[in-house]
């Protein structure tokens, strides 16, 4: 219908004086948006669903503390090994009983360190940056999932309640030279959560 509208508009009759009330210049006469009954109901349901989704996400973020990385700190990738840089000696540090921080560097093509050991129940705050290109890290079994960017420090916290070994894998493509033994797909590390009786063996730097 609408594809032909303008042809009618320019038919010879256009010079006449007939007036379509739908299309006069008076805005009050303007046709309003007509919505069918069930369509209107569905639109309300859609708005409701969207609001509920946003509320649920907000609630989860506020009450369960499930958060995403934010703005933490910046560091020049060329200065990672400078004295005083926390990334010069990457690894785990105990802050208080059961509370740790882990400084990590992602680089082509490994994590520093690529092995971590924590006692069960440990709460670890991870700080990670990249030395060269963009990398990523997801620690299996936790909500730690973040990008590692050169120039930026990413941080998230996780508590390890179940003994076992968990992989942390680089999940952003970071290169591979044909035929080389290592590359993006070999870049991973492991965090071992020790049962309570082995806790004494935990190494802290």
Partner 1 sequence: MSVHTLSAAELKARPTPAPLTAQDLKIVDRLAGLNVLIGVLALSFGALFGVFQGLEHAKVFNIYPWLQPAIKTYYQGLTLHGALNALVWTTFFICGFFTFAFVRSINRPLKYPWMSVVAFILMVVGLLTAAVPMLTNNASVLYTFYPPMLADWAFYVGLVLLVVGSWVVGYSMYFTYYAWRQENPDARAPFIALTSTITMVMWQLATLGVAAEILFQLLPNALAPVLGYPAPGLDALLNRTLFWWFGHPLVYFWLLPAYVSWYAMLPAQTNGKMFSEPLGRLVFWLFLLFSTPVGFHHQFADPGIPEIWKYIHMIFTMGVGFPSLITAFTVVASLEIGARARGGKGYLRWIGRLNWGDPSYAAQNLAMILFIFGGIGGLINASYNVNMAVHNTMWVPGHFHLTVGSATTLSFFGISYWLVPKLTGHKLFTKWLALAQAWTWFFGMVFFSNAYHTLGLIFSVPRRTMLGEAPYYSSQWNPQMMESVLGLTLLSISATLFFAIMLFTWILPRKLDRPIEMPVAQPLDPKPAPKWLDTWWPWLNGAIALIILSYGPMLFQLIRDAEFWSKGIRVW
Sign of CA dihedral 84, 148, 123, 62: positive
**Which residue in 82, 89, 115, 151 binds partner 1 (CB under 8 A)?**
151
What is the closest distance, in whole angstroms, from the C-beta atom of residue 200 to partner 1 in the complex? Answer: 29
* Pairwise CA distance, residues 131 & 176, whole Å: 16
Element (H, E) at 160: strand 152-160
**Which residue in 85, 86, 112, 147 binds partner 1 (CB under 8 A)?**
147
What is the closest distance, in whole angstroms, from the C-beta atom of residue 97 to partner 1 in the complex? Answer: 27
Rg of the chain, C-alpha, whole Å: 30
Please choose, out of 72-80, 88-96, 112-120, 197-205, the segment that lies near partner 1 by the rule CB under 8 A.
72-80
Element (H, E) at 50: helix 37-63
| Six-digit token string for 36 | 């069918």
The mark string for 81-100 relative to partner 1 (x by CB under 8 A, - otherwise) is: --------------------
CB 174 within 8 A of CB 85: no
Would you say 36 or 197 has its CB closer to partner 1?
Answer: 36
| Six-digit token string for 12 | 């010879």
Would you say 13 or 115 has its CB closer to partner 1?
Answer: 13
What is the closest distance, in whole angstroms, from the C-beta atom of residue 204 to partner 1 in the complex? Answer: 25
Tell me the number of residues near partner 1 by CB under 8 A.
Answer: 90
The mark string for 107-126 relative to partner 1 (x by CB under 8 A, - otherwise) is: -x------------------
Spell out the residues 6+ positions from residue 89 whose beta carbon is closer than 8 angstroms to its own: 103, 205
Binding of residue 195 to partner 1 (CB under 8 A): no
């Amino acid at each position: 219908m609408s594809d032909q509208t303008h042809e009618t508009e320019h038919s010879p009759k256009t010079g006449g004086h007939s007036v379509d009330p739908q299309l006069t210049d008076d805005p009050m006469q303007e046709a309003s948006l007509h919505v069918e009954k069930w369509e209107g109901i569905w639109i309300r349901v859609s708005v409701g669903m969207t609001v509920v989704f946003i509320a649920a996400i907000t609630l989860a973020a506020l009450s369960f503390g499930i958060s995403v990385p934010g703005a933490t700190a910046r560091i020049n990738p060329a200065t990672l090994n400078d004295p005083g840089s926390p990334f010069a000696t990457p690894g785990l540090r105990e802050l208080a009983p059961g509370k740790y921080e882990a400084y990590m560097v992602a680089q082509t093509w490994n994590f520093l360190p690529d092995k971590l050991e924590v006692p069960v129940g440990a709460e670890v705050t991870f700080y990670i940056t990249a030395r060269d290109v963009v990398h990523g890290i997801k620690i299996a079994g936790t909500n730690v999932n973040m990008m590692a960017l050169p120039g930026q420090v990413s941080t998230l916290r996780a508590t390890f309640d179940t003994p076992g070994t968990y992989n942390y894998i680089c999940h952003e493509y970071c290169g591979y030279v044909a035929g080389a033994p290592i590359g993006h797909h070999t870049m991973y590390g492991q965090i071992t959560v020790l049962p309570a009786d082995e806790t004494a063996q935990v190494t802290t730097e």
